[in-house]
Structure 1
């Protein structure tokens, strides 16, 4: 093994997923102390990461965020260094602070983007043009054109660009993907993912305005389906339908165009057999009941020529009942927050952690000259090149809703385009 140097990383976005801190205080979801910051602080403890920085729009949040991290991470685990440089400065508000923060980095450093969907493209492009590796949360971008441009930029600047599709590292989903390969031609896929109505309060600033529930939640299952069907079938047509009325009413009062539940019906064509066509239905909602005992309802059904697969990752045969709050189904595979016997962070096997660590490992390997960014396109990892069909389906779904028509997906040369 050659001498891999430690990776410096900038976290873009200071919200729930990065720090566990929301505008109204500590998150009440299953990400109470965040995922990105905690993972990077631990990877620094383990010698993979060095300097860390964080950028948001408002510098006023940092005193509360630092106190939250001190109490819940440094105070909860041994040997956890939670230091980071912050942009913009305290007391300043600057939507373009990410440029200042990226300009302080060097080529080969990493930029990890967990910001509203409509900002991903600008930040990712700015970072890659300066030679930085990029990990962007799902959905990577909102348009197929932007996705194609990021593929080209990653190639041109020879950097790693991954999309943080962490469900690929869920042990059940990755096992299902392997088993699907033995079931012959694809026939039918149905997926449901929902979150409780309380999310509309968390996301009120952008819900319906800057993105929709299909981009935000269905991106998980659309990516899983595209991954399962990689080199087996391609999507050819999308028709979308939406339910409305809850998000736009009291007490949520989201903007008038906000959908509650979005369903995409997608036609798939086998690459090996002209007579085999498949259908997929992807539904996502942020108006699920409040006290269902789960944060994300998530299940899918896959039927192939020779068998089927049924996955329920909301009810894992593991439930806990508490007098005050009732019954809850937990997800022990995602993030483990209880410390180890020695008092250290102990969540290195969670798929929320693994997803970020895989990116850090890839960036370090490329920096050391051991691998090239293109190598990862063949690994089944969610590289920007490997995830283009997910964006094609999501974008086609948005056009179908807005223009009330079916939208075709086809290949033109080496690029995917919408019709």
Structure 2
């Protein structure tokens, strides 16, 4: 990678995952100084990234964000250049500021999108159509039809488009995926992921209005299941169920349609055997207890024809007990925030960091002509093409809840004769 040119990058979204700032101060989660900004500042230190910019809706937040970054990144790690162009400028409020920010970039730049779920598709499409490489946080889109459009647009404009499914780079998940290949035909998968009720305070502005807990959390493990079963089985039917009553009551008072816990039951069919069928159950909740010792409780179970696999991502034999807060389980494999012995950032091996670096490396390789976007589809990376069934399942789950029926996932021919996934 040493001979590849540096790449300029735009961060879309100024919140918890990008900066660690949530409007009233640092996040109370495990992302107090963010992930995207910190990673890109470090990749600039390492010579992979050049100029950075950041866009939100309210430009009035930037003075506080800059102070937060200066104190918690610049004041902690050596040699961090925290400079970036901001949009909208002058403290203005502009929901479409991303358009100017993208237009200021040269084709071949990187656009990283961590914004509310309904905005992923329009921002990504706007960037792709102007020749930008794009990384989208999960869920890539809320509608399967929009996901398919992004696949076609990325192919047309010859750019890299990844979805930030960072759990594919978790060493335990990656190893489990490889071992699952030797277990024969798929039979059963179950996944649980939750966050404490305090997240409802952070997400109250959009929870139940713009998206749901299934899109927000189950997208992680649905993608892992789709990744394990890629080219081996396909989802065919989705039935969803939801629990309610906590998010809509005191003290959270979310909108009436907000679900607490959503479960999707999905039928899978083998692509290599007429006899084998599988079942998957994906559950996500944002009404878990407040002091459970982890920010995200998460585990999954896979059973194949010849064996099974159990993964508990939240409890890895590493816990810390403090008088004031009690026992906490930490996951330094995701992002390591403690500095190196020289005082520099030392989290380059974290899978949250690797996920973004893989995208940056892919974009730089395409810019240099040493790779094509299609190359990364074949590598099992979370490209927009490789993640289409994750969106299909999530979209089908939402329809199932809203219309109280089973939703079927099928292949169909598009207007141009190409085969694509559709919901019925």
Q: Answer whether TM exceeds 0.5 for this pair.
A: yes
Q: Distance in 1 between matches of 2:244 and 2:82?
A: 42
Query: What's the CA shift for 1:90?
Result: 2.9
Alignment coverage as a number of residue pairs: 419
| Aligned equivalents of 1:192, 1:75: Cα separation in 2 | 37
- Tell me how large the CA RMSD over aligned residues is: 0.7
For 1:363-392, what per-residue CA distance to the aligned partner results, in whole angstroms no more than 9, with x for missing partners? 000000000000000000000000000000
Q: Secondary structure at the match of 2:142?
A: coil
After superposition, the C-alpha distances for 1:229-261 in whole angstroms (9 at most, x for unaligned) are: 000000000000000000000000000000000
Q: Is residue 2:404 matched to residue 1:399?
A: no
**Corresponding position: 1:197 with 2:197:** yes
Counterpart residue number, 2:66? 66
Q: In structure 2, how many angstroms separate the alpha carbons of the residues matched to 1:231 and 1:353?
A: 28
Alpha-carbon distance between aligned partners in 2 of 1:252 and 1:380, rounded to the nearest angstrom: 40
Does 1:45 find its partner at 2:41?
no
Q: Which residue of 2 aligns with 1:417?
A: 422
- Equivalent runs, 1:311-322 vs 2, <5 Å: 311-322=311-322
Secondary structure in structure 2 of the residue aligned to 1:397: helix
String of CA shifts for 1:180-232, please: whole Å, max 9, x gaps: 00000000000000000000000001000000000000000000000000000
Structure 2 segments unaligned to the other structure (5+ residues): 414-418
Aligned pairs for 1:19-168 within 5 A: 19-168=19-168
Equivalents in 2 of 1:315, 1:253: separation in Å?
32
Give the corresponding residue for 1:231.
Answer: 231
CA contact (8 A) 1:377 1:385 kept: yes
Deviations 1:138-171 (A, max 9, x none): 0000000000000000000000000000000011
Give the TM-score normalised by the residue count of structure 1: 0.99
Q: Is the contact between residue 3 and residue 368 of structure 1 (CA under 8 Å) also seen in structure 2?
A: no
Q: 1:385 maps to what in 2?
A: 385
Partner of 1:159, secondary structure, is coil
Distance 2:90 2:184 in 1: 57
2: CA distance, partners of 1:94 / 1:237: 40
Q: In structure 1, what is the equivalent of residue 371 of structure 2? A: 371
Alpha-carbon separation, structure 2, partners of 1:213 and 1:364: 34
Distance in 2 (CA, whole Å) between partners of 1:2 and 1:71 is: 31
- For residues 342-383 of structure 1, the C-alpha deviation after alignment (integer angstroms, 9 at most, x for no partner) is 110000000000000000000000000000000000000000
State the alpha-carbon separation in 1 of the partners of residues 77 and 147 from structure 2: 39
Instruction: Map residues 156-195 of structure 1 onto 2, 5 A cutoff.
Output: 156-195=156-195
Preserved CA contact (<8 Å) 1:213 1:285? yes
Which residue matches 2:416? none
SS in 2 for 1:253: coil
Q: Secondary structure at the match of 1:281?
A: strand
Counterparts of 1:325-364 in structure 2, within 5 Å, are 325-364=325-364
Question: Secondary structure of the equivalent of 1:385?
Answer: coil
1:2 deviates by: 7.8
Contact 1:9 1:109 in 2 (8 A): yes
Q: CA deviation digits over 1:119-153, x for unaligned, max 9?
A: 00000000000000000000000000000000000
Q: Distance in 1 between matches of 2:91 and 2:400?
A: 43
In the TM superposition, residue 303 of structure 1 has moved relative to its aligned partner by 0.1
Judge which range, 178-187 or 85-94, deviates more.
Answer: 85-94
Other structure's SS at 2:43 match = helix
Displacement after TM superposition at 1:84 (Å): 0.2
Does the 8 Å contact 1:293/1:328 carry over to 2?
yes
Q: Which runs of 5+ in 1 are unaligned?
A: none
Cα displacement (A) at 1:89 = 1.0
1:220 aligns with 2:220: yes
**What do residues 287-325 of structure 1 show as CA deviations (whole Å, max 9, x unaligned)?**
000000000000000000000000111111111000000
Query: Aligned to 1:101, what secondary structure does the other structure show?
Result: helix
Instruction: Check the 8 A contact 1:238/1:266 in 2, yes or no.
Output: yes
Q: d(CA) in 2 for partners of 1:103 and 1:235?
A: 39
TM-score normalised to the size of structure 2? Answer: 0.98
